[in-house]
Amino acid sequence: MKIMVAVKRVIDYAVKIRVKSDKSGVEMSNVKMSMNPFCEIGVEEALRIREAGAASEVVAVSVGPAQCADTLRTALAMGADRAIHVVSGSLGPVLPLSVAKILKALVEIERPGLLILGKQAIDDDCNQTGQMVAGLLKWPQGTFASKVLLDKEKQVATVEREVDGGLETLSLDLPAVITTDLRLNQPRYATLPNIMKAKSKVIKKVTLEELNVEIKSDLEVVQVTEPPKRKAGVIVSSVDELIDKLKNEARVL
Amino acid sequence: MASRGGVLHRPNKESLIATSRIHQRSFGSTTINIQRNPSFSMINSDDINYFRDILDDNTVIQDEDRLSSANIDWMRKYKGSSKLLLLPKDTDEVSKILRYCNSRRLAVVPQGGNTGLVGGSVPVYDEVIVNVGLMNKIISLDKVSGILKCEAGCILQNLDSFLANECYLMPIDLGAKGSCQIGGNVSTNAGGLHFVRYGSLHGNVLGLEVVLADGTVLDMLGSLRKDNTGYDLKHLFIGSEGTLGIITKVSILTPARLSSTNLAFLACEDYSSCQELLLKAKRGLGEVLSAFEFLDTNSMDLVLDKLEGVRNPFPSSLHKFYVLIETTGTDDSYDRAKLETFLVNSMEGGLISDGVIAQDINQASSFWRIREGITEALMKAGAVYKYDLSLPVEKLYDIVVEMQLRLGSSAKVCGYGHLGDGNLHLNISTPNYDDNVFAQIEPFVYEWTAEHRGSISAEHGLGLMKADKIHYSKSTETVRLMASIKKLVDPNGIMNPYKVLPQSIYSP
């Protein structure tokens, strides 16, 4: 069985984000980019499933401009067998529904038994792509997965999900879509031997025309602003002053 | 009976049990046989009134709790008995304080973040503590040249965050960055992790404003790259650990913050591989090399054992040595390719047995946490005898091996440090302070260092800990001239007494 993992190139989680002065978006030039942390967890899970013998191949895919290849190289360096880069050129950010359509097209070519994605990307926080592609493929979905157990014989995935009320366990018939949550696993580091091996692994470039997918943006970003600045704290000199401020300024007493 | 100043008397078993939290446990160790200088006055109520007059009320501290934390150093090894802590708000207040103290012969300890490791930032006896922590304004940043002017109480990490916004960075980076202040960094000529790339503070500091013992304000706060007009006095104050004056403002050249950093964590099987790796890195990585650190297996074990949330990058095997190599440049793909090629070649050449490259900033931080966390892990492990030596790179690890042989099973010897600068942090860890262990360490470690023409203090300074050890690394004539300068600039000897230079400079 093949596992396909979708990965996204985003601004590194640890970078301090700055909004552009024209409010059209976020400062992206000269900023460190990395693989979306949830996608990293997805790659790790796919590798563990392959190492357990339940799958034969892990294919990493990404949609985006030329630099996406770096993100795919990370996936290969972690241990993915090969990669597919869907080149979106200078179209700007590709939105979840478009990505879902692209993934559907790839799934129809590659025929994986499992499609793993991160639950959301840390740049747009949409949390939509996994669910949309499952809908388009009419596949079962286990989102916010915190534990995945694959039964190769029965072709069933048991997924434990983190939901508001606690943990929910689902049983999914394969092929299925799983999106990863933080506690699913701790991704491995890219080791030098694997980085060396990755250099001979293939990243196949595919165009949108080849996939027969048209990207149509139904959303327009009107404005991006920073959240209002937090007011500085004040050191009070006595308990009386504290009570006074809580009563009259913060109005919580 | 000679009074023992500046020593935390070894706690008895009951008091050890009583202090429940590890990080508050205090260990006494070395005995400093220096008597309180009888020529210094004791504080009286007139003095307090004077200070209350010239300073804001809440900056004249006599409160026990606040005094107790200001009297004890970060390592919890040295404890003074000062009864007065002053927090001046500006240079003028510092000047008035010193002028008064000088006239009254009151000894003074300049203090900043109090993160020093040689007992230099806390009183030995009842010296007045002058802490510049409130002087934390950033004065200016020239956005074209990157020259930053700020007050001495600015916390290093805050300065770096401020500079990050303007695409500059502080040329020094140390584990204590969240607490240490730039005045203290300059006074101790701090080195740190990026020394191999950005060099010494002697090169980066362009100017200082210093207040001398008699209150004179020396305005040397130039911001020129080149200024060959007379003797460059600021160099005297850089590294003199508060014994010649109090630094109140700093003018420093900050390098451009480049966008691409890459970090690799490597495993080597012997020290000579680490050494050869360094040599090859300087050639193979050249201008993008920004850090080269090493740690041994004992250090790694300690960190994994004592710190929360720290992960071994090589979970499946134990290695003898670990090396961190960082590159900083302008082009991520180019730097990454350069680093990968270099590492792959080194691996094929047998210098590295395993390695990982950080794929994002989080992974890089977790690698740094291993190296930067060793100091903290040592504190948690019990008593630590800490040495900071500059040695020829080929000989650097030999002292670690020898020390472990000498001490056998009575102690765990950890070696780590700035291999790129030939700077070893030798740390001997024991459950409790033990005079027998100490006798095996000193003076052996100093003698060994002197034999190999090394420095007994690469970057930590002499402070109180090594105040009488300077002769291991400096000649008699040199020390004599230092003493003359000290007596010239501070005739009453009130500036951070008992430290840096040996007491013998005062004997006829």
Confidence of residue B24 (pLDDT cuts 50, 70, 90): very low
**Average pLDDT in the B261-273 region?**
95
Residues B392-435: pLDDT tens digits?
A: 999 999 999 999 999 999 999 999 999 999 999 999 999 998 89
Note whether B333 contacts A: Cβ–Cβ < 8 A: yes
Mean model confidence pLDDT for chain A: 93
Note whether B158 contacts A: Cβ–Cβ < 8 A: no
Range with top average pLDDT, A193-197, B134-138, B174-178: B134-138
For every residue of B164-229, DSSP letters joined together read: HHTTB--S---TTTTT-BHHHHHHTT---TTHHHH--HHHHEEEEEEE-TTS-EEEE----S---S
Residue B11 structure tokens: 């706690």
State the pLDDT at residue B259.
Answer: 86
CATH code for A2-228?
Answer: 3.40.50.620
Output A158 or A230, whichever has higher pLDDT: A158
CATH code for B382-469?
Answer: 3.30.70.2740
pTM of the predicted structure, to 2 decimals: 0.87
Alpha helices in B313-434 (DSSP H): 332-348, 361-372, 374-381, 398-407
Residues of A engaging B, defined by a Cβ cutoff of 8 Å? 12-16, 30-35, 37, 40, 70, 74, 77-78, 186, 189-193, 195-196
Cβ pair B98, B217 in contact under 8 A: no
Nearest to A84 by CA among A215, A209, A201: A201
State the pLDDT at residue A4.
Answer: 98
The architecture in CATH of the region B260-374 reads: 2-Layer Sandwich (3.30)
Residue in B359, B361, B365 to test binding to A, most A beta-carbons within 10 Å: B359
Nearest to A183 by CA among A44, A75, A52: A44
Confidence of residue B8 (pLDDT cuts 50, 70, 90): very low
Nearest residue of chain B to residue A69 (CA atoms): B333
Note whether B360 contacts A: Cβ–Cβ < 8 A: yes
Q: Which of B126-130, B169-173, B328-332 has the lowest mean pLDDT?
A: B328-332
Q: Is B434 exposed, middle or buried (0-12, 13-18, 19+ CB in 10 A)?
A: middle
In this complex, the residue of A13, A186, A191 whose CB is nearest that of residue B355 is A191
**Average pLDDT in the B292-301 region?**
95
Contact (CB<8Å) A14/B344: no
Q: Does the structure show a pLDDT above 90 at B175?
A: no
Output B91 or B15, whichever has higher pLDDT: B91
**Average pLDDT in the B271-292 region?**
94
State the pLDDT at residue B92.
Answer: 97
State the pLDDT at residue B332.
Answer: 86
Nearest residue of chain A to residue B343 (CA atoms): A192
**Do the domains B24-131 and B138-253 sit in the same CATH topology, yes or no?**
no
Cβ pair A114, A32 in contact under 8 A: no
Nearest residue of chain B to residue A186 (CA atoms): B311
Q: Which of A62-71, A158-167, B1-10 has the lowest mean pLDDT?
A: B1-10
Q: Which residues contact B330 (CB under 8 A, 6 or more apart)?
A: B258, B259, B260
State the pLDDT at residue B23.
Answer: 31
State the pLDDT at residue B32.
Answer: 61
Contact (CB<8Å) B361/A14: yes
Residues A126-151: pLDDT tens digits?
A: 999 999 999 999 999 999 999 999 99
In this complex, the residue of A14, A31, A190 whose CB is nearest that of residue B359 is A190
**Average pLDDT in the A62-90 region?**
93
CA dihedral A230, A231, A232, A238 (to 10 degrees): -130
Contact (CB<8Å) B259/A32: yes
Domain extent listing, chain B: 24-131, 138-253, 260-374, 382-469
In this complex, the residue of A13, A30, A196 whose CB is nearest that of residue B360 is A13
Domain B138-253 -> CATH class: alpha beta
CA B315 to chain A, closest CA, distance in angstroms equals 10
The rounded distance, in Å, linking the Cα atoms of B177 and B157 is 5
Residues B64-89: pLDDT tens digits?
A: 999 999 999 998 889 999 999 999 99
The architecture in CATH of the region B24-131 reads: 2-Layer Sandwich (3.30)
Q: Does the structure show a pLDDT above 50 at B13?
A: no
**Average pLDDT in the B273-280 region?**
94
Output A226 or B111, whichever has higher pLDDT: B111
Q: Does the structure show a pLDDT above 70 at B486?
A: yes
Note whether B134 contacts A: Cβ–Cβ < 8 A: no
Output B33 or A63, whichever has higher pLDDT: A63
Q: Does the structure show a pLDDT above 50 at A95?
A: yes
Query: Which percentage of chain A shows pLDDT scores above 70?
Result: 99
Query: Which percentage of chain B shows pLDDT scores above 70?
Result: 94
Q: Does the structure show a pLDDT above 80 at B15?
A: no
Q: Does the structure show a pLDDT above 80 at B16?
A: no
State the pLDDT at residue A123.
Answer: 93
State the pLDDT at residue B40.
Answer: 96
Residues of chain B with Cβ-Cβ distance to A191 below 8 Å are: 354-356
Write down the ipTM of this complex.
0.86
DSSP-derived secondary structure letter, A233: P
CA A156 to chain B, closest CA, distance in angstroms equals 31
State the pLDDT at residue B22.
Answer: 30
Confidence of residue A216 (pLDDT cuts 50, 70, 90): confident
Query: Which percentage of chain B shows pLDDT scores above 90?
Result: 86
State the pLDDT at residue A230.
Answer: 87
Q: Does the structure show a pLDDT above 70 at B223?
A: yes
Q: Does the structure show a pLDDT above 60 at B26?
A: no
Mean model confidence pLDDT for chain B: 91
Q: Does the structure show a pLDDT above 50 at B27?
A: no
Residue B268 structure tokens: 């080597």
